[in-house]
Amino acid sequence: MPPGNQISMNLRKDNVRVKSSSALDAIGNTPIVKLQKIVPDGCADIYVKLESHNATGSKKDRMALSMIEGAEKRGDLRSGMTVVEYTGGSTGSGLAFICAVKGYRFRVVSSDAFGHEKLDTMRALGAELEVIESKDGKITPELINRMIDRATEIASEPDTYFTNQLSNPDMIDGFEKMGQEIVEQIGGPIDAFCDSVGTAGSLMGVSRALKAAGQDTLVVALEPATSPILTAGTKGGHNVEGIGLGFVPELLDKNLYDEARAIDEAEARRTALRLAREEGIFAGTSTGMNVAGAIEIAKELGPGKTVVAIACDTGLKYLSEGLFSG
């Protein structure tokens, strides 16, 4: 049995979902599609994994579930306890969803630098939200550290479990399953995979799956050009939610990626808009960055090769930001 099959139990062979006993079964088994219009001639094929098909519309549902279930299996999280996290919104939405299904209280620290759609989603799912004020709406290392500090303070209270996404290796397990899906869906050589780095969970998880499957894949880490901590050792502000934290994430293993590239935020935004209007793929700025990076790599590899990127979430999370008003 191929390694990806164990994560397809709620699908029939014709890929039609069968009835499930829990809403948690709506996480995973997302489609992958070949870009048809925005890739220039003479390039490698680009396939995009559509993570908007997860329960709250983001790949972060995968890591949220693996962090909660990892803690449950170890006995670190038990009935009656409170889950605590800091988040830009998508991880928080995933955790709020899972805590709602499983019956945990969820306290979350976020910021007004992130889209109100994400904050509203967390509230709708029952999260108790504390919002940290940003400077000029920018995502900066200082802001992230303030969020972490406040979440750490809350997590010192009795009967809490701090998922602490930046230091929690459980999240990589959820993304390794995504990588197994990619290997099974492509069904052949994957010449390159690129992904923008926040926690680095999806980059690490997919890379682990590619290596386990014997793939000889160029794995590329992407980051905003205005905060090139991996490529130039410097940090700065930007408006690409969920990535570019301004420091090297703890779980980023240099043995699991080959190179890093900085992508211009304006190009990422143009690519997100083109994805929506020319490919019908409705996703956010980090997806635009992933696909912009994939196109750059596809130009270098040329015809007959395959590049894979992740469409991280749904564009519905970004409607208030003017991303699609161009």
Q: Per mean pLDDT, which range of 78-82, 226-230, 272-276 is the poorest?
A: 226-230
What is the DSSP code string of 18-85? PP-SSGGGGSS---EEE--SSSPTTS-EEEEEEGGGSTTSBTHHHHHHHHHHHHHHHTSS-TT-EEEE
Q: With a cut of 80, say whether residue 9 has pLDDT above it.
A: no
The pLDDT tens digits of the residues spanning 94-112 come to 999 999 999 999 999 999 9
Question: Across all residues in the chain, what is the average pLDDT?
Answer: 91
> Would residue 58 show up in a list of annotated catalytic residues for this protein?
no
Q: Enumerate the domain spans of the chain.
A: 3-53+169-321, 60-167
Is pLDDT at 81 greater than 60 in this prediction?
yes
**How many other C-beta atoms can be found within 10 angstroms of the C-beta atom of residue 190?**
23
Identify the pLDDT of residue 7: 42
Domain 3-53+169-321 is in which class?
alpha beta
Say yes or no to pLDDT of 16 above 60.
Answer: yes
Fold of the domain built from segment(s) 60-167: Rossmann fold (3.40.50)
Please say if the pLDDT value at position 8 is more than 80. Answer: no
Residue 17 has pLDDT above 70, yes or no: no
Q: Nearest Cα to 124, choosing from 99, 141, 144?
A: 99
- pLDDT tens digit sequence for 220-262: 999 998 889 899 998 887 777 777 777 898 999 999 999 999 9
What does the block give as tokens for 319? 């409607």
Q: What pLDDT shows up at residue 19?
A: 79
Annotated catalytic, 202? no
Catalytic residue among 60, 118, 177, 235: 60
Measured CA to CA, the distance from residue 295 to residue 212 in angstroms comes to 26
pLDDT of the residue at 88: 82
Of the candidates 282, 233, 283, 242, which has an alpha carbon nearest to the alpha carbon of residue 262?
233
227 and 268 Cβ atoms separated by less than 8 Å: no
